[in-house]
Structure 1
């Protein structure tokens, strides 16, 4: 068939795969009007109409709306412009679907109740701008006071969590937990205190007074315990903690009793708060950063061990 061949609406339907009623709708709406009519009044279409319909069908299958397609067919918009715009729109839709998939996987894996699932869904639907505003509000609320250390605020802001476009279930769960932490006033106070230590390079009092040699020995022993999987509340932790308590008691000229253990635990916790360490761990997860084992703090293990084991302690 050449370019002068005319097709009936039935033939056009067979060639394009579009139902006759759909072709009539396109014809009546002027999207692809018939080229002419037969003496009996039947619609007839030329080869150009066939090509227009094939393009129309392709764009519809790609999700382009009919009004935009009509502008393309009428050469008011270029196909390249439309393709770029719809590709961008699909990127957004894909991101939304990926987030939904991650939330559903977390909910299925954790056996989440309806309230938790709703919360996860709401928090992951926040736009990038909304997430940045949430972080800004958190940093301002934590370090906005006149006496707050600007270096600590800058450190927390520089390492702000940023949920990726296609987060894993672990990242979704970590993001939700982070948002809950950021809204806790008690946590903000803890972070403000410990971040100041880190940002300014200040050494906690107990570490400075104990001396570099004892602190290095303490970190080594605690790190070995962590690496060996020793439960800080278990019997295997007792000899490690007993030895450290006696070494510190000698340096501080104190009796290595329960009161001294509590004092040690309090001093270590002031600079190495477990909830703050949890915050940084969650930030690593959300940002997809590699967790370097040597940088994982051992102080939380030591604090728990001091409070839960050793002479005079009763495990609960």
Structure 2
């Protein structure tokens, strides 16, 4: 970190800086600071009597941190979560390392393909290099039909849903089938992420964790309080409401997010559990919090790479999880 920011301590006199001074001190532009303010990433601590932005030493430290995290390819959304304390720095670093490992794997795969195509051309097959390149890419990219076949086969192998009525099997896989599998052609980065998804689905430890995480759903499906189609419909409404809450940056403590969280949790209640909704909501919240492992989180991260639409679902689920923490703490 640059010394002009690091050496500012709480023992120094309280000082504020104009937006021009702040931009110069953290080596960025006024336009960038305006943008950070507009999107709510970092708003200045105060304003002058004339309404001009004034930045405190703490603001400068946060701006320095934002610049550092941007340098190592953090998204603005992830940086916002770090700044607001929604995720810890160790967790943020782990997620970014895993994301970059996907990138490295994808780049390695692309480099291998290009070198093989180049070698083909150097061998005198200049007319064949383009078709050969196409064949190489096709051999490594899993088309939607192959991905669907793999999932269908894994469902049969693990037997997680074997006792469940067919309509509930479809409900269980609804989001995955709709938002991950339909992508017709994958990029190298998406192909690398899909390869890791397959590895997880072949990992007995992950499958055990998944079964534990989804245990309430499996119980509910045998004695459902709703029809399967209605359950999917309400779950889609939860998705839309969660995305709206994320968009407006509603806090987990807000009444709207707490209501959304309770509505989500109740979708996992069976007929008997619906008779005592408050008891079930707290119990289900605690279960999901306890059952969320690093592998469960990794799976969602990989799905968001395979299909960016999943990122909105993951962001909504992250807000719901934070809502569950508030719910559990308030009722202890």
**Both structures adopt the same fold (TM-score exceeding 0.5):** no
What TM-score bracket applies, with the shorter chain setting the length?
Answer: 0.3 to 0.5
* TM-score for the superposition, normalised by structure 1: 0.39
* Structure number with bigger Rg: 1
